[in-house]
A and B are shown apart, each in its own frame.
Chain A
Amino acid sequence: MTDTAREAAKRLAAKMRTGALRMSEDKRGVVVELNSAGDLIQALEFVKKDSESPFDMLMTISAVDWLRWKEQTGMPQPEKRYSLTYNLYSMSKKVRLFVQIAIMPADVVPSAVSVYASANWAEREVFDMFGIQFGGHPELRRIYLPEDFSGHPLQKDFPLQGHEPQDFPQE
C-alpha cells in the first residue's frame, strides 16, 4: 500500500521543479510537503492524473494552527503558523497520499476547486474555522457558523469562553 503511494510521490517529484517538495513517511502514510504554496495546484493536477495510481478523490482538507506549540509541548516550533493537509485518495488503488503546505496568516492559498470540485466546501470549512484565505474560490463564505459570527474559533488565540451572542438572529 505504502509502496504505491511512495512510487506516485516519486513520479510527482520527477515532474515538479527540483527542491519543490520533500517526501516523508509516518504512520499515516506518505506525506508530500510542498515548500511553496504556489506549487500546490500543479502538484494536485499531477497526482490527480498520475499514470499508475490516479488520486482522483479529495477526501478532506485539514488545517493545524501551530501557535505556541513549543511553549505548550516543548517540541520544535514550526516556522509557519498554519499547515494544510490535502487528504487524497486513489479509488482504483485504494491508497492515500497526503499533500502538505505550510502558510503564514497573511498568505493566500490557491484554491483547489479547479482541480477537485469537492474542495469547495472543504475550503469553506477551513476558512470558517481558521480564517485561511483561498484565492480563486468561487464563494468563500462561512459554512457552519452563523454569517454574523466574528472570529475563527479553531485559531489557538480564539477565547474559549464568552462568545455567546448578545442577540439572536430574528427567525
Chain B
Amino acid sequence: MSTQDCSDKSLKVAVASLEEAASVAREMKRPGALEQFVNWSRKHSLWPIPFGTACCAIEFMGMVGSSLDLSRFGAEFVRFSPRQCDLMIVAGTIVNKMAPVLRKIYLQMAEPKWVISMGACACSGGMFNTYSVLQGIDRIIPVDYYVPGCPPRPEAVLYAILELQKRISEESSVLSSKERHREAWVRGLKARGRTPKSIILHGKGEDSL
C-alpha cells in the first residue's frame, strides 16, 4: 500500500508512520525483523467480532467491560461488522440452522483472521448432544483456541487472547490465506485429538477453504 491510495488525511499519516517503521526494521538487517514488526502490530491491534448466541456472550461482555478491560491488550474495539475484524469469538450454542450463517460471517472477515471458540457449546456442542445442535464449530470453521467452561470465566478468555497473541508473534506473516487456514484448522483438530479427515466441510469438499 502506498500513501497515494489513501484519501483520508489521518490514514495518510498512519500509513506514512508504518512505512517509516517498516523501513527502520529493514535497515536493522536482522533476519525476520519485518515479519516480527508486522506480527507485533497485529497482535496488539486485534479487533474482535463477537458471535454471541447464548450465555457465554454475557461473560464476553464482562471481559470487555471496565473491570477486566480487554482494551488493555489492544483489542479495544468490538465491531459487529466482519469486514473490520480479525478475531472471531464464538460465544454460545450454534445450532445446525445457524451453522451456514456462522461460516458465511467467518468467510467475510478479512485476512489475517483468528477464531476463539468460547465455552463448551461452541467447542463440542456441550450438554446439547441433540438433533439440532452443531457438535463443535470446528466442523465448519478453523479454530485457534478452545476455551472450556460453561460458561468460562472472563479471565479464561483473556488468557486465550494472551496465548493467541503469543502465537501471532510466532506466526509467519507471509503465509497465504489458505495455508494459514489449513494450519489453524489442523492445529485445532490436533488439540482435540481428531484427524482432519473427520471434518465435514461446507458442502464443497475438503478444499473449499
Interface set of A (CB-CB < 8 Å, partner B): 145-146, 149, 151, 153, 158, 160-161, 163-171
Contacts and interface: CB of A to CB of B under 8 A. Distances in A.
Contacts of B197: none
Contact of B96 (A158, A165, A170): A165
Nearest to A169: B100
Contacts of A153: 130-132
B209 to A, nearest CB: 14
Given A171-B103, A171-B104, A145 B129 contact: no
B97 interface: yes
Nearest to B125: A164
A164 B100 contact: no
20 contacts: A145-B131, A146-B96, A151-B131, A153-B130, A153-B132, A158-B131, A160-B129, A164-B134, A164-B135, A165-B96, A168-B100, A168-B140, A168-B202, A168-B203, A170-B100, A170-B202, A170-B203, A171-B100, A171-B104, A171-B202
- SS class, residues of chain B in contact with chain A: loop
A168 B200 CA distance: 9
Interface of B: 96-97, 99-101, 103-104, 129-132, 134-135, 140, 200, 202-203
Contacts of B135: 164
With a 10 A CB-CB cut-off, give which of B97, B101, B103, B135 has the most chain A CB atoms: B97
A163 B101 contact: no
A145 B96 CA distance: 9
Nearest to A152: B131
6 nearest interchain CB pairs? A163-B131, A171-B100, A171-B104, A153-B131, A168-B99, A167-B203
Contact of A161 (B99, B129, B132, B140): B129
Contacts of B202: 168, 170-171
Given A153-B131, A153-B132, A161-B129, A167 B200 contact: yes
A120 B96 CA distance: 25
A146 B103 CA distance: 17
A171 B97 CA distance: 10
Given A161-B129, A168-B96, A171-B101, 16 more contacts: A145-B97, A145-B131, A145-B132, A153-B130, A153-B132, A158-B131, A160-B130, A164-B96, A165-B96, A166-B200, A168-B99, A168-B100, A168-B202, A170-B100, A171-B100, A171-B104
B131 A146 contact: no
